[in-house]
Amino acid sequence: MKIKKYIVTAIIIILFAIFFSPQDVLLVKGERKNILIFPYKDNIDFTIEYTHSVEKTSTSETFRAYSGKENIVLLSTKFVGQGAGLPSEVDKNFKHQDNFFIVDNINEDIEKFYIRSSIVAKYNLTINNRNILLYKIFNDGELIEFENKKILRIKTYLLLLYSKF
């Protein structure tokens, strides 16, 4: 009888330790309670592709979120044109490849960042080998926040239940 009590107590302690330990996540959330959550270990890379609002050409930006950091790092950007709103100065990490201009090794820390959902820009998030059409999840004009943070594992599970993915 005592052994069963110890086993049940041990199981409760283990479950408590699992559910209440911190978990690194990338949160993508809109103003209207839509949320996407991506738990990860060590780091997670993601790319946002869209149609540039002025140039009307394909543009993409690649980011990385690191475990234990609250910042997101901009790794590279890739674009077709050189018109309004695109970089006017670049360093040695600039190259032209397959009709794209690419700026690599940017490594700029960003606290959290926002984009505005748009049926014109047609934002597409590529993460964990999945393409997620953000403009189909979030309303046109809705502000979307990207944030890297550490939250309790139980909250991660609850948000995954609530999440669209």
What digits encode the pLDDT tens for the residues 26-77? 999 998 777 899 999 999 999 999 997 777 788 999 999 999 888 999 999 9
Q: Is 58 exposed, middle or buried (0-12, 13-18, 19+ CB in 10 A)?
A: middle
Nearest residue to 101 (alpha-carbon basis) of 80, 116, 124: 80
Global confidence as pTM: 0.83
Contact 40, 59 (CB under 8 A): no
Rounded average pLDDT over 97-104? 83
Q: pLDDT tens digits, residue range 102-136?
A: 888 889 999 999 999 999 999 999 999 999 999 99
User: Rounded CA gap, 137 and 108, in Å?
Assistant: 28
